[in-house]
Structure 1
Amino acid sequence: MWPFEFDGPMLMTLHDLTHVHYPQTQPADRLAEIARCVEPALERARVILTDSQFVADELQRHYGVARERLKVAPLGYAQRFHPRPLADLGRVTAPLGVTPGAYLLCVGTLEPRKNLALALRAYALLPEAVRRRYPLLIAGMAGWRRDDFAAELQAALASGQVRLLGYLDDERLAELLAGARMLLFPSLYEGFGLPVLEAMASGVPVLLSPSSALPEVAGTAGTYVEAGDPEGWCRAILRLIEDQAEWQARRVAGLEQAQGFSWKRCAGITAAAYRQALEH
């Protein structure tokens, strides 16, 4: 967000540069507002917060922001995201017609940047028997330009093996995430990628694209496949279903990776950034 107009010291937070790299995934009115406000705000703000080192580096390259004005405050995850016994999750999954530990999950707003179409294509390539055993659940509110992949989504929903859940409240999402075999996160671009961290904290392996800030979040715990390779995604999904040792190794690595992130750390860095802005 950019600072309000006032005469005092200012700090701003910039979550990503989607408007630079993927302008086609943003509404025109949003792009116009960003174009009007971002560069003047970057010039005026004493300190600029980002969620990842990736975005901080991008700000230096694209806008020429001095490193000393940038503070990276990695996000954290809520305590509700933790491993849960599958036996405790039946009350959440039963109304959806799925079994804990036997479904795939996508989380994110239904918009082009999240690249849901890739997940649908990869899922459709799975053997029929696998799709019957492991339905694909999609959690997220409708976003801009959903019509771009509406036909693929409707075809997938018609199969009965893909379910669109819409927006879920925080606790229900945490429970559903903990029961997933894996999280599919094929996003084209992220300034952080909070669902990735929340999945790892829940003991759920993550299959994701190696783009933008995502490797910074998932580290070596993630299973990476390029965002334009549905066949590669299909193979990776099958491996995490069929190879229990690999699944367990990714689960353990994800839990360890998640320990490096916390809201307490994020808050401490943010508070220090505000103090820095006031002291100049």
Structure 2
Amino acid sequence: MKIGIDARNLVHNLTGIGRYVLEMCRGLAEAGHEIFLYLPERPVSDLSRLSGGTFRISDHAGNFRRMVWGQTILPKLAARDKIDIFWGPAHRLPFSLDPDIPRVVTIHDLVWHHAASTMRLQGWLGDRFLMRPAVFSSDKIVAVSRATADAIRMLYPQVSKKLHVVYPGVTRLEDGGTSSVLADKGIDREYALFVGTLEPRKNLPSLLEAYALLPEPVRKNLLLVVAGGQGWRLGDLRERMVRLEIESDVRLTGYVTDSDLAVLYRRAKFLVMPSLYEGFGFPIIEANGVGVPVVTSNMSSMPEVAGEAAILVDPTNVQDISAAMGRLALDNALRSRLAEKAPLNALRFDWRKSALDLVAVFELAITARRR
């Protein structure tokens, strides 16, 4: 099968959706399919693992030019390559895609609808006005979780019959024995770990307040490590830490490489992810994959993804978050039970199976377009 892919999410440093696109493309290529990756500009990420793909790289840097590229250059390239299927892996499809080309779109979340106040205006506008035409013009729709599929059905009941749930896989991160992130970031004792872009949806102010509520002896033996690139509209986290008098017990690492992230996961006492909304929540299964239990939210997709390897909390209740962190910090038996379940939970998510399931959806889309 010749598969054309909107690979714009591979341009910048890889976060959740970018990693999803990378791993799915890798799985498709390893399964013997011919993949064409369309990028608006040269990627900063290392895409050497996609050596089997054909790259079509344009010169359209910047948000506005990238948007124009997606509706003009991209569909022309796809038509020229005579692809069998076009895949929009993140909420968008070109309006002017050749009508003979079957097309599938993946929807990761409906943040723009359910948590609009946590988005940048540009991102909100993009999803608000481009997701609807994508789901209606697609032959099939892939949702990354049952929670996301249910949200799509509620908002767009007319497309219910086109919906398929295909779970992502878990990425096994390797450090290669060269990472010095613990020493470099001053991580000198046990720690609870947060992983994610620093943005409102991740609920970091509540996480910091919850950590501050822990008894001082607990905090002295348990750092809070916040790993993630700077997002937006959170103000100065360090100023908030000073106000809460926890600045000596929190480490802000900024964006970290995969090798550093591998070390941070493996050495963590537990992961804490009290997001207000997630379409999937990759850090949950990445932590579970190395036997690390999780504190996460009791809403959207997080209970579905965390299974039995987590304590679920109300993300709007700071005391609830704090109590769960305290339990995992102090209750060794509880932590051990959850740690035993963590790898089993992660085994539910496999990139090879994800790619095969996606191909099955592609085949259905091709059949639907030919009718």
TM-score scaled by structure 1?
0.91
For residues 230-269 of structure 1, the aligned pairs below 5 Å read 230-269=318-357
For residues 39-54 of structure 1, the aligned pairs below 5 Å read 39-54=132-147
Tell me which protein shows more strand as a share of its residues. 2
1:78 maps to 2:171: yes
CA contact (8 A) 2:241 2:247 kept: no
1:198 maps to a residue whose letter is E
CA distance in 2, matches of 1:212, 1:142: 24
Q: What SS class does the counterpart of residue 248 from structure 2 fall into? A: coil
CA distance in 2, matches of 1:36, 1:92: 41
1:26 maps to 2:26: no
Rg larger in structure: 2
For residues 111-130 of structure 1, the aligned pairs below 5 Å read 111-130=199-218
Deviations 1:57-87 (A, max 9, x none): 11111111443311111111122279xxxxx
2:155 maps to a residue whose letter is H
Q: What SS class does the counterpart of residue 235 from structure 2 fall into? A: helix
What residue is the counterpart of 1:143 in the other structure? 231
CA distance in 2, matches of 1:223, 1:158: 24
RCO higher in structure (CA 8 A, sep ≥6) = 1
CA distance in 2, matches of 1:90, 1:81: 10
What residue is the counterpart of 1:106 in the other structure? 194
2:307 aligned to 212, 219, 225, which one? 219
CA distance in 1, matches of 2:129, 2:317: 36
CA contact (8 A) 1:111 1:143 kept: yes
CA distance in 2, matches of 1:181, 1:209: 18
Cα offset, 1:150, TM superposition: 6.5
Count of aligned residue pairs for this structure pair: 275
Q: 1:48 to 1:223 in 2, by over 3 A?
A: same
1:182 maps to a residue whose letter is F
CA distance in 2, matches of 1:192, 1:37: 21
Cα offset, 1:157, TM superposition: 8.2
Deviations 1:143-188 (A, max 9, x none): 1212286642454587211111000011210111110011010000
CA distance in 2, matches of 1:21, 1:205: 27
What residue is the counterpart of 2:46 in the other structure? none
CA contact (8 A) 1:193 1:217 kept: yes
- List runs of 5+ in structure 1 lacking aligned partners: 83-87
- List runs of 5+ in structure 2 lacking aligned partners: 1-90
What residue is the counterpart of 2:183 in the other structure? 94
Q: What SS class does the counterpart of residue 308 from structure 2 fall into? A: helix
Q: Percent identity?
A: 35
Tell me which protein shows more helix as a share of its residues. 1
Q: What SS class does the counterpart of residue 253 from structure 2 fall into? A: strand
Cα offset, 1:128, TM superposition: 1.2
CA contact (8 A) 1:105 1:180 kept: yes
What's the C-alpha RMSD, in Å, of the aligned pairs? 2.2
CA contact (8 A) 1:137 1:162 kept: yes
